[in-house]
């Protein structure tokens, strides 16, 4: 009998094997091996010209690879392109809208393109508008919508046929802070609904809190693919923590600086930055040493790398 706690292998939603694409003598993608699991909210990170849009366009069946294969739920994007198109919703970074059409008319048009029956289209249009927060704008002309509302309408359009995989190229581009926050909240809700989402973005701070996995590419080559925390852990060449005490800060600094695990201490704005040796991954000795030495600990926090800093460390800023 198998143990009840045995975990199943994740279902692969997207896989690329040696995926390459050249434009004349320029190699936009070079042997890209990528795996996205079902239910992932997957961040695709890279500088302009790194190959993000090329990858998304290949997955969306708009471009053919020069070499290698790409699969969406087991369907080859070249040989089974029609099957792939029914599984995906692709939102490019810039897309045209019919500004003289009403919102519901626009979505009804695309629903008809997917051969959704008229009665079902009416319900579907209402549902996707509610999901993206545009129910109150259903009778409005698209040209009268703000940039943020047009982006949400574009997202509603790719949801009209209930795709399993969303390919979103810079969906928050050009949005103000409130509109970006609203867009990210919608994406989180879509993930809770079971959608797999690949999102490229330059706003790395938002991807860090939004995505569970990321890939970093530069000049068409994959640098990292895995969990958000995993890439930060790989980049750490030292461990540092912040300590705050309500007692004498000099006394606390002296207690810690005398520990063999500590390389150096530094007082910064009423707190102590403690740099540990690479072998000292367990920081539980810090509160023990402080309490034993008579200090009163208020805060202990590990200094974590954010995604922007990691990106700058692992890339060189090179473009094709």
Q: What is the pLDDT of residue 314?
A: 60
Is 220 a member of any domain?
yes
Q: In what order do the strands lie in the sheet with 67-72?
A: 26-37, 12-23, 67-72, 75-76
Grade residue 36 by pLDDT with cuts at 50, 70 and 90. Answer: very high
Grade residue 56 by pLDDT with cuts at 50, 70 and 90. Answer: very high
Q: What is the pLDDT of residue 232?
A: 59
Is 317 a member of any domain?
no
Ranked by mean pLDDT, the top range of 45-49, 52-56, 316-320 is: 52-56
What domain range is 174 assigned to? 12-233
Phi-psi group of 237: left, alpha or beta (phi > 0 → left; psi -120 to 50 → alpha; rest → beta) = alpha
Is 315 a member of any domain?
no
Q: What is the rounded CA–CA span in Å between residue 142 and residue 133? A: 15
Q: Is it the case that residue 230 has pLDDT exceeding 80?
A: no
Q: What is the pLDDT of residue 164?
A: 95
Q: How many CB atoms lie within 10 A of CB 289?
A: 18
Is 81 a member of any domain?
yes
Q: What is the pLDDT of residue 37?
A: 95
Q: How many domains does the chain have?
A: 2
Question: Residue 236, exposed/middle/buried by CB under 10 A (0-12, 13-18, 19+)?
Answer: middle
Q: What is the pLDDT of residue 228?
A: 76
Grade residue 279 by pLDDT with cuts at 50, 70 and 90. Answer: low
Calculate what percentage of the chain has a pLDDT beyond 90.
Answer: 59
- Say whether both 248 and 197 belong to one domain: no
- Say whether both 57 and 205 belong to one domain: yes
Last residue of a domain, one of 211, 233, 255: 233
Is 314 a member of any domain?
no
- Say whether both 154 and 276 belong to one domain: no
Greater confidence (59 vs 241) lies with 59
Q: What is the pLDDT of residue 274?
A: 87
Calculate what percentage of the chain has a pLDDT beyond 70.
Answer: 87
Q: What is the CATH number of the domain that holds 298?
A: 3.30.70.100
- Say whether both 190 and 219 belong to one domain: yes
Last residue of a domain, one of 233, 255, 283: 233
Grade residue 1 by pLDDT with cuts at 50, 70 and 90. Answer: very low
Buried b (16+ CB within 10 A) or exposed e, 79-107: ebeeebbebbbbbbbeeeeeeeebbbebb
Q: Is it the case that residue 277 has pLDDT exceeding 80?
A: no
Its pTM stands at 0.77
Mean pLDDT in residue range 234-260: 84
Q: What is the pLDDT of residue 35?
A: 95
- Say whether both 271 and 229 belong to one domain: no
Is 18 a member of any domain?
yes
Is 1 a member of any domain?
no
- Say whether both 159 and 45 belong to one domain: yes
Q: What is the CATH number of the domain that holds 218?
A: 3.40.50.300
- Say whether both 95 and 188 belong to one domain: yes
Residues 97-149: pLDDT tens digits? 888 999 999 999 999 999 999 989 999 999 999 999 999 999 999 999 998 89
Q: In what order do the strands lie in the sheet with 297-302?
A: 262-268, 271-276, 239-245, 297-302
- Say whether both 187 and 82 belong to one domain: yes
- Say whether both 68 and 127 belong to one domain: yes
Residues 160-207: pLDDT tens digits? 999 999 999 988 877 888 888 888 899 999 999 999 999 997 767 777
Is 312 a member of any domain?
no
**Partners of 299 in the β-ladder:** 244
Question: Average model confidence (pLDDT) for the chain?
Answer: 87
Q: What is the pLDDT of residue 254?
A: 93
Q: What is the pLDDT of residue 318?
A: 53
- Say whether both 156 and 250 belong to one domain: no
- Say whether both 225 and 251 belong to one domain: no
Q: What is the pLDDT of residue 233?
A: 59
- Say whether both 46 and 180 belong to one domain: yes
Biggest distance spanned by C-alpha atoms of the chain: 76
Grade residue 304 by pLDDT with cuts at 50, 70 and 90. Answer: low
């Amino acid at each position: 009998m198998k143990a009840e706690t045995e975990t199943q292998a994740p279902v692969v939603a997207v896989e690329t094997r040696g995926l390459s694409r050249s434009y004349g003598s320029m190699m936009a993608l070079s042997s890209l091996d990528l795996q996205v699991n079902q239910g992932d909210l997957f961040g695709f990170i890279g500088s302009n010209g790194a190959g993000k849009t090329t990858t998304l366009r290949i997955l969306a069946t708009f471009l053919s690879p020069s070499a290698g294969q790409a699969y969406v739920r087991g369907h080859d994007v070249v040989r089974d392109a029609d099957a792939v198109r029914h599984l995906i919703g692709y939102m490019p970074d810039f897309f045209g809208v019919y500004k003289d059409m009403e919102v519901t008319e626009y979505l009804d048009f695309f629903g008809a393109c997917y051969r959704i029956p008229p009665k079902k289209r009416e319900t579907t249009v209402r549902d996707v508008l509610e999901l993206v927060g545009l129910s109150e704008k259903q009778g409005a002309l698209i040209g009268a919508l703000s940039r943020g509302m047009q982006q949400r309408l574009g997202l509603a359009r790719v949801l009209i046929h209930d795709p399993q995989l969303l390919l979103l190229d810079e969906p928050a581009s050009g949005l103000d802070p409130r509109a970006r926050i609203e867009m990210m909240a919608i994406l989180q809700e879509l993930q809770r609904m079971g959608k797999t989402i690949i999102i490229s973005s330059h706003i790395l701070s938002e991807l860090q809190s939004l995505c569970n996995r990321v890939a970093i590419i530069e000049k068409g080559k994959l640098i990292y693919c895995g969990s958000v925390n995993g890439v930060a852990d790989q980049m750490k060449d030292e461990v540092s923590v912040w300590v705050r005490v309500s007692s004498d800060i000099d006394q606390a600094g002296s207690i810690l600086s005398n520990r063999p695990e500590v390389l150096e201490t530094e007082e910064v704005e009423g707190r102590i930055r403690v740099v540990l040796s690479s072998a000292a991954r367990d920081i539980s000795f810090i509160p023990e040493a402080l309490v034993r030495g008579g200090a009163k600990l208020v805060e202990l926090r590990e200094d974590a790398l954010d995604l922007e800093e990691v990106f700058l460390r692992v890339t060189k800023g090179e473009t094709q």
